């Protein structure tokens, strides 16, 4: 038995060494070559992971006709994906989220103008934080750096964002998700992507509720949620808002586009809880921010919406976003009236 065991052991070890030293590397090189082949074929295909990817893909399709385009963060996106704020879809919803930042907004409006019909008006409808945000971390990687990778976009990111690192050459087999799988998603389903337009008509008679009215929550959980929201709002009020370096560069570039393509730029503040407004007003934060924006783009027009963006704290479902549907409907009506004033 002992000699037989010894022989089997030698055979197994010999085959194992052969697999490790020869067979496995050959298979690995073969798989890496196949991955590189598909990655090369798909290199100009955008990824399809989230709504910002879908928006970027929709921009490239071209031939969209709109007189008004709206840039903004998730507070405005939350409204425009739900509500129809114009009569005949004459508004292009180009809103994203904070992680894309104003610099992402610049890339989006530039791509839109490169591939679609000219606009007459651009509205930037967002929180003040949209202007102060400096892209960083995983959020910026997912929603900005990995979305906008054209040569001129990468160059502008290098100029504008301090912590941006130019993408390095990477083997496809080490990043199959981004190099192949997400791009295959666009290849098979991308033809159906479009601007995320809401269909619900805002109700001018909707009653504004004065507290959280989620029937799925018990009274105790509602009280806990209220305390959490109140705490987050107070923390938001402590922020010192001013334009970020990338925000300054982005607004300057957007202003240049307005000169080149002959459209007007309007700033509209999304609703902000009263606690935050009172604190920022006492420190003249919004006034100083408006002066900064006007310095970098003197032609910008500001909507006078102080009565509308100053909402009670109980209108918020967190420190930034409005309670649905009552207060989101309220903001949809603000946007609708703002657009009506342009014509």
pTM of the model: 0.85
- Whether the ω angle into residue 325 lies within 30 degrees of 0, i.e. cis, is yes
| Confidence (pLDDT) at 7 | 55
Assigned token pair, 62 = 């071209």
Check if the beta carbon of residue 91 is closer than 8 Å to that of residue 71.
Answer: no
Please state, in angstroms and rounded to a whole number, the distance separating the CA atoms of residues 329 and 178: 37
80-122 pLDDT tens trace:
999 999 877 689 999 999 999 999 999 999 999 999 999 999 9
52-72 pLDDT tens trace:
988 998 888 888 889 999 999
| Confidence (pLDDT) at 5 | 58
138-179 pLDDT tens trace:
999 999 999 998 999 999 999 999 888 777 777 777 777 778
| Confidence (pLDDT) at 237 | 95
Check if the beta carbon of residue 338 is closer than 8 Å to that of residue 302.
Answer: no
Overall size of the chain counted in residues:
343
Residue percentage of the chain with pLDDT more than 90:
56
172-227 pLDDT tens trace:
777 777 787 777 777 777 777 777 888 999 999 987 766 555 455 455 555 677 88
Secondary structure, 3-state, the chain: CHHHHHHHHHHHHHHHHHHHHHHHHHHHHHHHHHHHHHHHHCCCCCCCCCHHHHHHHHHHHCCCCCCEEEECCHHHHHHHCCECCCCCCCEEECCCCCCCHHHHHHHHHHHHHHHCCCCCEEEEEECCHHHHCCCCHHHHHHHHHCCCCCHHHHHHHHHHCCCCCCCCCCCHHHCHHHHHHHHHHHHHHHHHCCCCCCCECCCCCCCCCCCCCCCCCCHHHHHHHHHHHHHHHHHHHCCCCCCCHHHHHHHHHHHHHHHHHCCEEEEEECCEEHHHHHHHHHCCHHHHHHHHHHHHCCCCEECCCHHHHEECHHHECCCCCECCCHHHHHHHHHHHHHHHHCC
With 80 as the cut, is the pLDDT of residue 317 above it? yes
Band of residue 45 on the pLDDT scale cut at 50, 70, 90: confident
Which residue has 């700033």 as its token pair? Answer: 267
Band of residue 126 on the pLDDT scale cut at 50, 70, 90: very high
């Amino acid at each position: 038995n002992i000699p037989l065991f010894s022989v089997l052991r030698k055979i197994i070890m010999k085959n194992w060494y052969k697999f490790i030293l020869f067979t496995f590397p050959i298979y690995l090189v073969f798989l890496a070559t196949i991955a590189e082949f598909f990655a090369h074929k798909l290199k100009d295909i955008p990824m399809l992971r989230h709504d910002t990817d879908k928006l970027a893909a929709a921009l490239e399709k071209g031939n969209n006709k709109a007189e008004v385009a709206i840039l903004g963060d998730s507070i405005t996106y939350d409204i425009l994906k739900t509500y129809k704020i114009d009569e005949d879809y004459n508004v292009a919803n180009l809103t994203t989220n904070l992680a894309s930042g104003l610099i992402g907004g610049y890339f989006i409006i530039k791509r839109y103008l490169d591939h679609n019909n000219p606009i007459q008006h651009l509205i930037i409808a967002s929180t003040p934080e949209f202007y102060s945000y400096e892209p960083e971390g995983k959020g910026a990687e997912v929603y900005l750096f990995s979305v906008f990778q054209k040569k001129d976009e990468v160059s502008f990111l290098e100029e504008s964002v301090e912590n941006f690192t130019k993408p390095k050459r990477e083997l496809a087999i080490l990043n199959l998700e981004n190099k192949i799988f997400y791009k295959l998603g666009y290849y098979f389903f991308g033809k159906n992507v479009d601007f995320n337009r809401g269909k619900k008509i805002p109700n001018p008679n909707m009653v504004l509720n004065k507290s959280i009215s989620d029937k799925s929550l018990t009274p105790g959980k509602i009280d806990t949620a209220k305390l959490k929201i109140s705490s987050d709002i107070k923390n938001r009020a402590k922020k010192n808002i001013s334009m970020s370096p990338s925000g300054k560069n982005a607004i300057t570039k957007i202003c240049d586009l307005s000169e080149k393509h002959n459209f007007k730029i309007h700033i509209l503040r999304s609703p902000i809880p009263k606690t935050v407004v009172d604190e920022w007003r006492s420190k003249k934060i919004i006034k100083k921010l408006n002066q900064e924006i006007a310095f970098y783009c003197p032609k910008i027009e500001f909507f006078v919406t102080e009565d509308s963006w100053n909402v009670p704290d109980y209108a918020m479902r967190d420190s930034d976003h409005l309670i649905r549907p009552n207060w989101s409907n309220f903001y949809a009506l603000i946007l609708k009236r703002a657009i009506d004033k342009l014509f």
